[in-house]
Structure 1
Amino acid sequence: MKLKKKISILVLLILSVLALSSINVFSWNSHFFYTELAIKNNDWINDFPEIEITPYTYKDIDQDEYNPEFIIKYVEGEIGGKTEASDILINYSDEPDWDLDTNLDLNKIQALTGGSQGYRHMYFSVFAGLLKAGDAPKRANHFFEMSKIAFGNGDNYWGFRFARS
């Protein structure tokens, strides 16, 4: 009986690995889907009071370089309207992919990552860390810090919008 149980567990494990490895994860165009899955059962987010949509007023604080042609969009309503914290996180989870980081000259090797957007959104470390490329950890930290500033200013809209990165 013990042998049958071990064989059954092994077969289930192998089938699970095969099934899970065949699932395609479209990380480049499904940020909103995975964000929604991650927060849908989060009471803290779902019970957060309505948030007023506020204009972007962080240009003096945020000195990072962005695509000069990038236009800030408000997809869930107009400035002064109301929205939910979960909607901000879901709707803007892929905002960095809306050409925010394109058309920039950041690094000589950015062509290896498909341009400035790829360079900012990826990070590679090869040869035991001797060669590193990409700014993803730095960008995540940047927007984390911007989120803290916005929340500190009482601006929940931009606090959550910066946090989506």
Structure 2
Amino acid sequence: MTVDRICVGAIAGAFGVRGEVRLKSFCSDPADIATYGPLTTEDGKRSFTVTLTRPVTGGLGARLSGVITREDAEGLRGVTLWAPRDALPLLPDEEFYHADLIGLEVVDPGGAVLGRVRAIFDHGAGDILEVVGGKDVLLLPFTRAVVPTVDLAARRIVADPPASDE
């Protein structure tokens, strides 16, 4: 897969009156968001150097280059921040960037197609894969028991969903 940028965070709104933002980091170590060089908006039209200022409720306080006033900061609410893939660390075996999993075909152990990964959710108890096949939507725990194989080269995941109680 050739995803050249990875979403590493989002701006949750303004913090204070001097252009600071409340930043939600999607990095395993939240402070790493400031180490990946200039971050861009999803469309690539704006670029920011991030300087962390302090921990705040629900994220990190940060200054972004070019953001001076509270109004500037508030205008960025909801904007996602993207880092170049080559600035991110290589992951150990059996760890994956979410961007690498989105769109992969999911098959059962017998090879029957279940669908494609549309999204990955993490509500605190571990990742959940949302797999869509036609009108069917499966939510699968991203555990070795349920997802024994992820083959990025073949762009395929083998999943053994738990039996349905229907």
TM-score, normalised relative to structure 1: 0.27
Structure with greater helix percent: 1
Structure with greater strand percent: 2
